Amino acid sequence: MGCFTSAKSRPLSINSDALCQYPRIGKISVKLRNIAGVVIDRQTVSFNVTEPILITSNETEFADEKILASSCVLPGIDPRGEYKKKCQDNCFYLTDSDGILCCLFDGHGAEGEKVAEFCQRIIEGLFSQKKQLLKDHPFNFIKHATEKCDSELQKKSSGIDSDFSGCTGVMIYITATDIFCGSVGDSRGILGTTIAPEVLPAPPANMGAEREILAAVKQKRKSVIETQINSIQLTRDQKPEDPEELQRIVKAGGRVQRLTDNAGNKIGPYRVWKQHANTPGLAMSRSIGDMIAKNIGVISEPVCTSYKRTSGDLFLVIASDGVWDAMDNEDVGTFIECYRRKCKTGISSCPLGTEINFSNTCIAQILCEEARMRWYTIVEEEDVMIDDISCIVLEIKRTDEILAKHSKRPVPIEDVAEKVPDEGSGEGEGLRRAPTLKEIAVRDPRRGSIVSDKMPGFEG
């Protein structure tokens, strides 16, 4: 089993810069299925893609080191135009003389966008007020910041109903010598480097069913580079089916199940539910907000990891699941290294309605556009909405001589189990739950982080 993802120089039959051109009109051939899940027809859907609500690209400096930072947020979209989708992603970075703090929040629920914006205000305040804590004890700062976001949300003064709304969070602080990470939920950070670490900071995530759906498009759109790049996962995704997370949720009185479609097939991710109610349906085991879920084992404590910087480090990427649902770590790492030097820098906007390519935007938008292009395959298969897509890319300036190849493999950390015992198998009985409700017969059209009978569109 591989411990990290890497890419080496290899021949390519289908690849060119022409692939990285993104028109503003999308066209998708959606599979139509009968109640048994059998494809009976296709329907062609055309739509105008959404433009970025945030785009930045500028050079920043700390400790005599220059970093090129770019960011982008692309709102999600329903290709059929039946649902009006609010963008709930938010990302930003803050810099001082000691380092760069990168933050990304992916909201969910009726007021998820308010939660993500609220968290930004809290973090910006703490960045000014707690500079010494961040410098001396980065993990303590990350934990304090996450706890404050969560506790302040519960107050009436927040003006936000966070019972069924919340967000994921990733905070990564990069200094001259180290990278300190904290994550809550399933947004993720990776590092592109030529030197593989002795011990991985976090286990590589498994894309699960998406890997099979996206296998063909990954092969068709893969990037090729001459330098070996190791795509090291810096943060750990927290899913309800992970053994440690599952045990905590069940002990608190929750249950973990997937949805089922009308034919009884399991669909979508594992979700957290109350023992005898079809709420809240949260697809992660840790989050900021989601106060109802906090009663059944969902927590806001971040999982913290660190990485000692090396001379081979090239770039860092923090992204929401809008990227990671469509591209794996290797995809993102090779894509960034292949195209980052070709992109425009020093921009704060892009031409609206114009085809996007290297000549008119930054690498952060190019990555988001590529992820959205791959989402078309998911929509064709599942007839779902395209998620919000956001990322921050930090390019660490390195000369070509440093890009030497390294082949030493890291020592594997303990694997995270990928299986949740099936009901009725007798396996893991103590970790599951008391006699259960039957699987929830509901389609998962939004493919979202939360599905609840308290929300519009639930068909329980």
Separation in Å, CA 273 to CA 16, 186, 425, 438, 458 = 46, 18, 20, 13, 14
What one-character DSSP code corresponds to residue 302?
P
Half-sphere exposure at residue 439, Cβ-oriented, CA atoms within 13 angstroms: 19
What tens digit of pLDDT does each residue of 303-342 get? 999 999 999 999 999 999 999 999 999 999 999 999 999 9
Q: How confident is the model at residue 208 (pLDDT cuts 50, 70, 90)?
A: low
When the candidates are 3.30.450.40, 3.60.40.10, 3.30.1330.10, 1.10.10.10, the CATH number that belongs to 5-239+299-402 is 3.60.40.10
Amino acid at 366: I
Among 25-39, 203-217, 249-263, the least confident range? 203-217
Evaluate whether 104 touches 88 at the Cβ level (below 8 Å): no
Amino acid at 221: R
Tokens coding 394: 């930090």
Q: CA-to-CA distance for 263 and 148, rounded, in angstroms?
A: 44
Task: For the chain, give every domain's residue range.
Answer: 5-239+299-402
What tens digit of pLDDT does each residue of 344-393 get? 998 888 778 899 999 999 999 999 999 999 999 999 998 999 999 999 99
Half-sphere exposure at residue 414, Cβ-oriented, CA atoms within 13 angstroms: 4
Nearest to 124 by CA among 92, 151, 153: 92
Backbone angles phi, psi at 261, to 5 degrees: -90, -175
Evaluate whether 188 touches 170 at the Cβ level (below 8 Å): yes
Helix ranges (H only) for 399-460 are none
What tens digit of pLDDT does each residue of 83-141 get? 888 999 999 999 999 999 999 999 999 999 999 999 999 999 999 999 999 999 999 99
Residue count of the chain: 460
Mode of pairing for the β-strands spanning 39-48 and 389-396:
unpaired
Evaluate whether 85 touches 77 at the Cβ level (below 8 Å): yes
| 59: three-class secondary structure by DSSP | strand
| 55: three-class secondary structure by DSSP | strand
Nearest to 285 by CA among 299, 268, 301: 299
Contacts of 204 (CB under 8 A, 6+ apart): 2, 3, 4, 5, 233, 329
Evaluate the CA torsion angle 219, 220, 225, 230 in order and state its sign.
negative
| Class of residue 425 by CB neighbours under 10 A (exposed 0-12, middle 13-18, buried 19+) | exposed
Matching residue, tokens 């690209």: 57
Prior bond of 197 cis (ω within 30°): no
Q: CA-to-CA distance for 159 and 422, rounded, in angstroms?
A: 41
- Greatest mean pLDDT range, 10-24, 29-43, 111-125: 111-125
Evaluate whether 280 touches 450 at the Cβ level (below 8 Å): yes
